[in-house]
Structure 1
Amino acid sequence: MDIAKILKPEAVRVLAGMTSKKRLFQDLGEVAAAVYGLTAGVAVDGLLERESLGPTGVGHGIALPHARLEGLDRIVGVFVRLEKPMDFDSVDRQPVDLIFTLFAPKDSGVEHLKALALISRTMRDANVCAKLRANGQAATLYAILTENRPQAAA
């Protein structure tokens, strides 16, 4: 599995003026609807439901919100870089500016976990994050996220 199979170029965005998680999730749902044909409200509800179990801010300015949804036939992603970091209740209490969101079929099981592990490995790479933070063009962000890297164990 590689990120290019999960993430379409048009699902990569740079957002300004984000003030709340709920507003961010609405924007993520709208992108997922526009790019992948998901129902925005269902995507937002799935993200909010998962977030209610515990924050998905994993530290170092990174969040990995995710949701399992009915009617989805494959795992898809949305990546957002925020121009201004926002509070995300992260484990290290640091504001978040890099958000990689996954939407998976309700019954995806192991595939969902493999996708989360892949995204987590990629986002744990300090060089990748530095490049993402240094660029503001969606096409460049997509290229950084999808460039081939050696695969290591999760």
Structure 2
Amino acid sequence: MQISSILKPGAVRVIGAVSSKKRLFQEVAEVAQSAYGLSAQSTVEALLDRESLGPTGVGHGVALPHARLNGLDMVRGVFLILEKPLDFDSVDRQPVDIAFSLFAPEDAGVEHLKALALVSRTLREQSFCTKLRANPDPATLFTILTEAQSVQAA
């Protein structure tokens, strides 16, 4: 699995300030609706339900909100850079400015876990996240994200 198989260029955005985790999830849902035709309301509800099980802020300014949704045929992703970091109840108590959301079919099984592992491994590298944070252009961000694996695999 590669990031390019779960992320479309139209699902990468840079957004200004959001006032809450719920508002961030609404932004994610709007992007998911635009890029993949997902129901914004169902997407927000699924993200909130998953988040109620425990925060998806993994530390170092990164969050990986994810959920399973009806109507999907494969894992899909939405990547956001926040211009103003958001308190996210992360494990290290640091605010989040990178959010990579994943959506999987209800019956995705191991594919969902593979996608989470892939994104988590990719965003664990601090130098990689620094490079993302330094590029406010969605097209450049998409290129950085999708080329990361090519470089790692070489």
TM-score when normalising by structure 1:
0.96
Superposition deviation, residue 115 in structure 1: 0.3
| Structure 1 stretches of at least 4 aligned residues deviating more than 6 Å after TM superposition | none
Conserved 8 A contact 1:128-1:145: no
Of residues 124, 149, 152, the one that matches 1:150 is 152
Shift of 1:146: 0.6
C-alpha RMSD over aligned residues: 0.7
Q: Which residue of 1 aligns with 2:139?
A: 139
Name the TM-score, length of structure 2 as normaliser: 0.96
Unaligned runs of 5+ in 2: none
- Count the aligned residue pairs: 151
Q: What are the superposed Cα offsets for residues 58-98 of structure 1, whole Å, 9 maximum, x if unpaired? A: 00000000000111111000000000101000000000000
- TM-superposed CA distance for 1:113, in Å, is 0.3
Residue 118 of structure 2 corresponds to 118
Query: Are 2:17 and 2:85, in contact at CA under 8 Å, matched by a contact in 1?
Result: no
Determine the C-alpha separation between the residues in 2 that align with 1:91 and 1:17: 21
**1:15 counterpart residue number:** 15
Deviation of 1:149 (Å): 2.9
Can you give the 5+ residue segments of structure 1 that lack an aligned partner in the other structure? none
